Amino acid sequence: MLFLVILSVLGVANAAWPSFSQLEDNYPSYPYLFGVFGTTWDELVEEEGLDSWLLGVADKNTCTMRVSRALTHAGKTIAPGSCNWSGVRDSQNRPYIIRVGTMRCYLENEYRHADVTGSSESSFRGKKGIIVFQDCGFQAATGHVDLYDGSGCVGQCPGYFDACSNIRLFQFN
C-alpha cells in the first residue's frame, strides 16, 4: 500500500492521464465556441456529435464540456456511471461531463485529491492543471472548471478567485 501511495505522490500512478500541454492543445478556445470566427456552440455540439438536447443551450455555461473535450481528445477515457454523470457522449461514443460538481467528483475519484486548495490566487501561481471553482454565488452556474497555466485560466475566469470560496487545482505537468 505504501508503494502505491508513493507512486501516486510522484504522479506515476496517473501515467495514463494526459500532460498539461496535451490538455491545452485539445482545449477549444472561446472564439471557437462563441462564433467570433464563425463557429457557434451549436455547431460545436454538432461537430463533436454530442447529444441533440445540448443544441440551443441559452446560457452557454460550457466550461465543463470544454475540459471534457480536452481530456477525451488528449486520449483520456472518461469512465461514466459515477458522480451523477449525465450520459452525454460524442459521435465517437466518448463520455463527456457537463456539470462542475461531476467533474470535481470524477477528478477526485479517478485522478486524486486536489493538489492545491483554497481561495487565494497566490496559492495557485506557478502550478498547472485543471482548476475547479465552487461556492461562487453565480446565478446561472454552480461554479467553473478550466485549465490553469500557472498564471491564469486558459479559458476565462475573471474575478473568480475573489468570488469563489472553494477552489481546487488538480496538477498536471
- Give the helix/strand (H/E) hosting 107: helix 100-110
The pTM of the full predicted model, rounded to 2 decimals, is 0.83
- Decide if 71 contacts 90 (C-beta within 8 A): no
Q: How far apart are CA 64 and CA 86, in angstroms?
A: 12
CATH no. of 17-171: 3.90.1720.70
More confident residue, 60 or 82: 82
pLDDT tens column, 120-165 = 999 999 999 999 999 998 877 889 999 999 999 998 898 999 999 9
CA atoms within 13 A on the CB side of 148: 30
Write down the pLDDT at residue 60.
62
Residue 83 phi/psi, 5° resolution?
60, 35
